[in-house]
Amino acid sequence: MEYRYLGNTGLQVSELCLGTMQFGWSADEALSHQILSQAYAGGVNFIDTADVYSRWVEGNPGGVAEAIIGRWIKQSGIPRHKLVIATKVRGKMGEGPNEGGLSRVHIMQAVEDSLRRLGTDYIDLYQMHAYEEHTPIEESLSAFDDLVRQGKVRYIGASNFPAWRLMQALWASQRLRLENFSSLQPHYHLLNRAEFERELADVCRTYGLGVIPYSPLAGGFLTGKYREGAQVDSVRARGVQRYFKPQGWELLNKMETMGHAKGGYSISQIALAWQLSNPVITSPIIGPRDLEQLADNLGAVGLRLSQEEKQALDEATAWS
């Protein structure tokens, strides 16, 4: 497993990040612990979660994924410093008026709740889950800055920020001498390129932000399990139907052919390699629902596309 620096920091993370949105949803606690253990054994030291995971599931109050990770850390006996734990704040965690968002009040309460559930006294990377238009970014950044100074958070990042909001935050940090974002977590994959590439990629490159893309496999579409005319039983099937188009089917065929030509790699491994071959990308977030999917994802470690191969996929998914 290769390790990369998280943006302009001294923090080194594995080239794949283990996402945990499926914990307490499509993977129960026992399976989640197996996934965590196998990922760590495979060299993954970077784990991404959020306080709101998986509150959308009936009977799930939120915080379940964090709690599962916390119990695994305790049971595994792995020294805390060998793990890089990233979590997020913003999502609605209760019914009260201050149970969500990026106000100082909510951030200060949410970080304590996350620390308790994770069973740790610090978070390596604390991220704003999305921008929040009702709270001045200066207020949110000031709270994050305080958490870094208190030692409860090591680095801070953003997720789901459009370019102008990201620049607003970077400038506010510089102007007020507050802690600066070290990373961005964008929605990015072969079939959703413009959202990141149009402006965000240049911002991250210019300001040295690490890039941790979520959904690099397009919600499972870029695994090849969805094929034209086939029916697939999956909790995410509805979300990927937008890719059931000629371009999507043609892309899968091209990636399958490319994988065979490179020595028998799967479609999902080619999709991850496409990102890992881009120097602006730090660590794509994988979200395996079982050990078989995890093994397939780990097979992309160290895999790179040639310039010609990457260009072929770029041209097949070009945007304007």
SS (H, E, C) the chain: CCEEECCCCCCEEECCEEECCCECCCECHHHHHHHHHHHHHCCCCEEECCCCCCCCCCCCCCCHHHHHHHHHHHHHCCCHHHCEEEEEECCCCCCCCCCCCCCHHHHHHHHHHHHHHHCCCCEEEEEECCCCCCCCHHHHHHHHHHHHHHCCEEEEEEECCCHHHHHHHHHHHHHHCCCCEEEEECECECCECHHHHCCHHHHHHHHCCEECCECCCHHHHHHCCCCCCCCCCCCCHHHHHHHCCHHHHHHHHHHHHHHHHCCCCCHHHHHHHHHHCCCCCCCCEECCCCHHHHHHHHCCCCCCCCHHHHHHHHHHCCCC
Q: From the candidates 3, 5, 40, 53, give the one annotated as an active-site residue.
A: 53
- Judge whether 122 counts as a catalytic residue: no
Q: Looking at the annotation, which residues are catalytic? A: 53
